[in-house]
Amino acid sequence: MRSRPIRPLIVTVLCALMLAIAGPAEAGRGRGASPELQRGLGEAWAVFDSGSYTRAEALYSALLSTDEGRDHAEVYYGLALIAWEKRDALAARGWLWAAHRGMLESGSWNPGVGQRWQRRIEERLGFIQANFTLRKVLVPAKGVPIPPLADPVPRDPVLAGFATAVPEVLHETLEDVPDGPVFLLLPNGSWWVGDRLEWHDGGAMEPTEAGEAWQLVGDKGAQAEQHEERLSELAAGGSLGRRLIGKLMIARRAPGGMVAAELRRRKAENLAAEYARRKPQLEAMRARQRALLDAGRNADAERLATKSHAGAAGGGGTLLTWDEVTAAELSGVAQKLGEVWTEAAWHMRYAVVIPDKATRWTLELPDLGVSLTIGKGGELLIQGTTGEGKTRLKESLLRWHLGGRPNKVDVWFDGVRLKVGANGQEVGPVEVARASPSGATRWRFSVSDKGALMFDLRVEGFDGF
C-alpha cells in the first residue's frame, strides 16, 4: 500500500492545536525561510521533481513538525501538491485548507515572499471549489465495489485525470476504511453508479454538506459486464453516458446541470469542427498575406483579405486572419495589425483556450490609453480615458471556461466606445477614448500563461454601434 497523506480531519485538528500556541507578532508577513528550512525545502522539492513522492512526503512532514515549518505556506503547498499528483483531491484540499486556516488564525504565519505560496494555495482552493463536489459512497456488503465512472470524461485534462484515477483512490481509501462509508471529492459531471447515471455537482466540501449517498454495486454478473462495456466505449472515443443524456433530454427528464453541461459540450464540439473545417483555408490565406506583407505590399494584403471575406459580419472585410496564435506569437500579431490597420472602427473575434484561473489576457491600445483584461477565471476589466476622466468597468464573465474548453470572444470598437462579448454574454459598449483615432493605431497583446492558445483570430471592419 502506498503512503497516503494525513486525512483532512486529522490535518484540521493538528493545525488547530498548532495555531493555538502561535504568537501574533508576524501574522501574514511574507518573508524568506531561514537557511535551515530553505535547505530542507530545496531537498524536498528536488525529491518531488524526481518523482519519489513517498520520500518527498516524508521530508515535507518532517519540516511540518518544526516550529518554523508548521507556519510556512510552502510546506503545506508541497504536501498538497503530492496528493494532487496522486489525484487524491480530498487529501490535497485537506492540506490546502489547513494552510488557509493558518493564514487566518496563526499569528506567525508565513505566506512566502510576496504572498507567493499563499496565493497559489488560494487559487488551487478556488479551482477545487468551482470544479469538485464531495460525495458519500457506500460499499456493498460483499464483493469488490465497482467504482463510480465519469461518463463523459471531463474535457478539462486536469479534471479528466482526477476522474480516471477514482478506482485507485477508492481502492486505497477502502484499505484505510474497509467497511466504509467513504467520502470522495469528485469532479462535477455525470457518473455511472451501478446502472444509474447520476448528476454530481453543488460544490459541497464538508461531509455534513454532501448530498445523497451513492450505493455502489459489486463487481459481479451483468453489472460488471455493463461497466466493461462503458469503459470500452470511452476508450474508443464514444460515450454511452452521452447517448443516455440525449434520450433524457428528449424526454425532459435530465437534471438542469446535466442539460447545461451537454449543451456546452455540443457548442465546444461545433466550434472545434468549424475550426478544423476552415483551417486549410485559413492557413493558405495567412501564407498569402504573410508573403504580401513581407514584400511590403500592405495594401494588397488588405485587399486580398477583403475580397476573400466579403460580406463578413459587421459589414466589412477581414483585414487579417490567423489560424493559431500562441502566447509567444501575440507580439507579432500586434505588430502586423499596427502595420496595416488604418480604420478607427473594428471588430475582433477569436476563440481562446485558457489553462487556469491565474491566466490573464490583455489587449491595449496605448495611443488611446485603452486596455481590456480578462483574468482571475473570467474577471473582465475595461479601462480608458474620456473627456469626463478615467473609465474603469469591472464585470464577471459568468460563462468563462478554464482548461480545455475554448471561449468564444468578440471585441467591438467604434473609435470611442468598446464592447466585449464572451460565450454569449455581452458587456458595453463603454466609452473609453476621448476621440476616434486617425491613421494607424498601435496594438499590444499579452497573455500570462504560455499554455494559452488563440485560434481563428480575425479582425474585420465595423460599421459602428
200-247 residue pLDDT tens: 999 999 998 888 999 999 988 899 999 999 999 999 999 999 999 999
Q: What percentage of the chain exceeds 90 in pLDDT?
A: 41
Residues 333-381 have pLDDT tens digits of: 887 777 666 677 888 888 888 877 888 889 888 888 889 999 888 889 9
Q: Which residue range forms the structural domain that includes residue 150?
A: 133-264
Q: State mean pLDDT over 431-443.
A: 76
283-289: long-range contacts (C-beta < 8 A, 24 or more apart)?
283/323, 285/321, 286/321, 286/322, 286/323, 289/320, 289/321
76 and 155 co-located in one domain: no
**Which pLDDT band holds residue 308 (cuts at 50, 70, 90)?**
very low
- 31 in a domain, yes or no? yes
Q: 112-154, pLDDT tens digit by residue?
A: 988 889 988 998 898 899 889 999 999 998 889 999 999 999 8
Q: Report the C-alpha gap between 117 and 76 in whole angstroms.
A: 9
Half-sphere exposure of 285 (CA within 13 A, CB side): 23
Same domain, 46 and 95: yes
**Cβ 151 vs Cβ 191: under 8 Å:** yes
Q: Do 348 and 383 fall within a single domain? A: yes
* CATH code, domain with 87: 1.25.40
**Better-predicted residue by pLDDT, 8 or 150:** 150
Contact indicator for 428, 415 with CB cutoff of 8 Å: no
Q: Is the pLDDT of residue 14 over 90?
A: no
On whether both 126 and 180 belong to a single domain, the answer is no
Closest by CA to 197, choosing from 249, 237, 160, 141, is: 249
Structure confidence at residue 416 as a pLDDT band (50, 70, 90): confident
pLDDT computed for residue 434 by the predictor: 80
pLDDT for 310 equals 37
Q: How far is CA 141 from the centre of its chain?
A: 39
| Domain assignment present for 226 | yes
Q: What is the pLDDT of residue 333?
A: 81
The verdict on 218 and 302 lying in the same domain is no
- Collapsing DSSP to helix, strand or coil, 4 comes out as coil
Cell numbers of 225, please? 459486464
Cα–Cα distance, 386 to 371 (Å, whole number): 13
> Are both 50 and 103 inside the same structural domain?
yes
Write down the residue that cell numbers 464572451 correspond to: 422
* Residue 306 clears pLDDT 80, i.e. is over it: no
Q: What is the pLDDT of residue 302?
A: 62
Q: Are residues 104 and 142 both part of a single domain? A: no
The answer to whether residue 270 is domain-embedded is no
Residue 444 lies inside a defined structural domain of this protein: yes
Strand partners, 199: 190
- Look at 18 and 395; give whichever has higher pLDDT: 395
Residue 353 covered by a domain: yes
Q: Which of 220, 238, 264 is the last residue of a domain?
A: 264
pLDDT the model gives residue 18: 42
Q: Are residues 19 and 113 in the same domain?
A: yes
Answer yes or no: is 123 within a domain.
yes
pLDDT at 1 over 80: no
Q: Does the pLDDT value for residue 270 go beyond 80? A: no
- Number of domains making up the chain: 3
Do 140 and 121 lie in one domain? The reply is no
92 plus 232 within the same structural domain = no
Same domain membership, residue 347 and residue 220: no
Residue where one domain finishes, among candidates 101, 116, 131: 131
388 with 445, same domain: the answer is yes
Q: What is the pLDDT of residue 205?
A: 94
* Res 25 pLDDT > 70: no
Give the chain's radius of gyration (CA, Å): 26
